Structure 1
Amino acid sequence: MQILGCDFSSSPTARKPIVIARGQLCMEKQCVQLNGLLRFATLDGWSEWLAAAQHGPWIGGFDLPFGLPRELVQSLGWPADWAACMEHYAALSRPQIREQFKAFCDARPAGRKFAHRATDIPAGASPSMKWVNPPVAYMLHAGLPRLRAAGVHLPGLQAEPAQPAARVGLEAYPGMLARSVLGRRSYKSDAAAHQNPERALARRELVQALEQGLPMLGLRLLPDASQRAALVEDASGDALDAVLCLLQAAWAAMRHAEGDARYGLPAAMDALEGWIVTVPMPLPQGANPS
């Protein structure tokens, strides 16, 4: 089963491309063979590759949000249906997005400027309405319409297709897996001045942990020697983030192969906001975990 993991950029360049990790899931051995890394310097090149029939079928994890906070959508008076909301959002320009989101934040008290999706807090992810550091709002704006245009099926947000989907996309977030190994230690930086031996050591430790298998996923990564070296040597961390998304997609593929039509996404997820795959849904307040 072909699996993809994507480290996404809303404004890719040759120096800062979109990175796709390709792999093969072996369920019997509970491992993912890393087959290679692809880099795309343009959004059009990325979306054309995704849509090409010869590259499928696949299940992919994409490091970009698939929805906006319900609180924000309701406050702005946007459509509460996910598809209609995303079409409205795609029709806006980035300056319009920034203007409306900034006005929303400016009207709120300190410490509660941004609205969050239900999945953001347990994942430790930035709110999907954030337009800077990181600009995940622009990642949603640039990436999701192209996934939809490429015919990628998005479980939990779209009705299950009559025939098995050739391309399946899930929202992934590599930071959660990285923190499960490294805590708050940094393993990457785009700034050359911060690409130091400490971060290189953290990347090496993270790759070793992935090869040994993360308990929360029950999967091992199988890179060859050159791939292992490339993951450690990429100081930006983009290749390693793509691999982390690859493993999240593989976990979802296993759930689906075992009969879960939602690819491991919680049944109670908000179908307007979306959900990050592999993030457990918090228990209701006061619920007994047993």
Structure 2
Amino acid sequence: MNLLIGCDFSSAPTRRKPIVLALGSSAGGRVQLARLVHLNSLDDFEASLRQPAGWLGAFDFPFGLPRELVEQLGWPLAWPALMTHYAGLSRADIRQTFAAFCNARPAGGKFAHRATDRLAGSSPSMKWVNPPVAYMLHAGVPRLLAAGVHLPGLHDGDRNRVALEAYPGLLAREVLGHRSYKSDDRLKQTPERLIARKDLVTALEMGQTRLGLRLKLTHAQRDTLVDDGSGDGLDAVLCLMQAAWAQTQHAQGAPCYGLPAPIDPLEGWIVTA
């Protein structure tokens, strides 16, 4: 399994806002970016998962829901059955159900959180807007399952194709703190965010993160990542770095690709958190 994948995901991809895959490999502590691939539909995404060659991928969408939420709603308490139930809901169903859950709770505690969300500083996986990670789960996980891939700690599948949950913001914040480096709004793609992207790419190239890995880029690749104000390609590369860390942990004999043991088999876990 030499191919590594980092995925910046969209629950409603288009040509203007595609799913971005960073494809690469890792050896000797160096992570080589081979290329960026843009996928304009969820069908294209699922087709990419079915490629027969082995791969290890880190995907920027949640793989599970908060146990507190699931128990209160009376949904299935086994992950495969829960995902089947969730996939059968419409987005309107999800929004209505989760909004009712939040409305019944006090201010400051509207959302339920997974243990990994709190540790990683990621949005709660039940959030349906800004960012709509609940819809990302709804769009992404059923396609992982349909493609038959292996999800460590959650679902046994083809162990030559391994998918882990990632969160690029976890690694970005380690370098930048709370400096913003991206925006989908062109009017907000400021010089300050450009400088932040340059700083982030430089830190990855220098190995200045706790992952202990150096990113290897061509000059053209570096320019592409820095110049993209949306940060989509850079987010895919951040996920690629997390996949490389997991591969290193696996090669060193760590169980479950470096995920902590045990993890809640309903909630899942963000790799490197």
TM-score category (smaller protein): over 0.9
In the TM superposition, structure 1's runs of 4+ consecutive aligned residues that sit over 6 Å from their partners are: none
2 CA distance for matches of 1:200 and 1:75?
Answer: 44
Deviation at 1:215?
Answer: 3.4
Give CA-to-partner distance per residue, 1:179-227, whole Å, 9 cap, x none. 0000000000000110111101100000000000133101110011100
Residue 115 of structure 1 aligns to a residue whose secondary structure is coil
1 CA distance for matches of 2:165 and 2:65?
Answer: 13
Structure 2 runs not aligned, ≥5 long? none
Within a 5 Å distance, the mapping from 1:1-290 to structure 2 comes to 1-26=2-27, 29-53=28-52, 56-159=53-156, 165-279=159-273
Give CA-to-partner distance per residue, 1:58-117, whole Å, 9 cap, x none. 100000000000000000000110111111000100000111101100000000000000
Deviation at 1:49?
Answer: 1.5
Relative to the length of structure 2, the TM-score reads 0.98
Work out the percentage of aligned pairs sharing the same amino acid: 63
Structure 1 runs not aligned, ≥5 long? 280-290
Deviation at 1:261?
Answer: 3.2
**Partner AA of 1:149 in structure 2:** A
2 CA distance for matches of 1:242 and 1:46?
Answer: 14
2 CA distance for matches of 1:238 and 1:141?
Answer: 20
Residue 159 of structure 2 aligns to a residue whose secondary structure is coil
8 Å CA contact 2:259–2:269 kept in 1: the answer is: yes
8 Å CA contact 2:174–2:209 kept in 1: the answer is: no
Give CA-to-partner distance per residue, 1:147-191, whole Å, 9 cap, x none. 1111110001124x6xx7121000000001000000000000000
Residue 100 of structure 1 aligns to a residue whose secondary structure is helix
8 Å CA contact 2:31–2:214 kept in 1: the answer is: yes
8 Å CA contact 2:66–2:112 kept in 1: the answer is: yes
Give CA-to-partner distance per residue, 1:102-156, whole Å, 9 cap, x none. 1100000000000000000110000000000000000000000001111110001
**Partner AA of 2:111 in structure 1:** F
1 CA distance for matches of 2:48 and 2:172?
Answer: 28
2 CA distance for matches of 1:79 and 1:214?
Answer: 42
Relative to the length of structure 1, the TM-score reads 0.92
8 Å CA contact 2:26–2:244 kept in 1: the answer is: yes
Deviation at 1:271?
Answer: 0.8
Residue 263 of structure 1 aligns to a residue whose secondary structure is helix
2 CA distance for matches of 1:165 and 1:57?
Answer: 8
1 CA distance for matches of 2:8 and 2:209?
Answer: 23
RMSD: 0.9
8 Å CA contact 2:175–2:209 kept in 1: the answer is: no
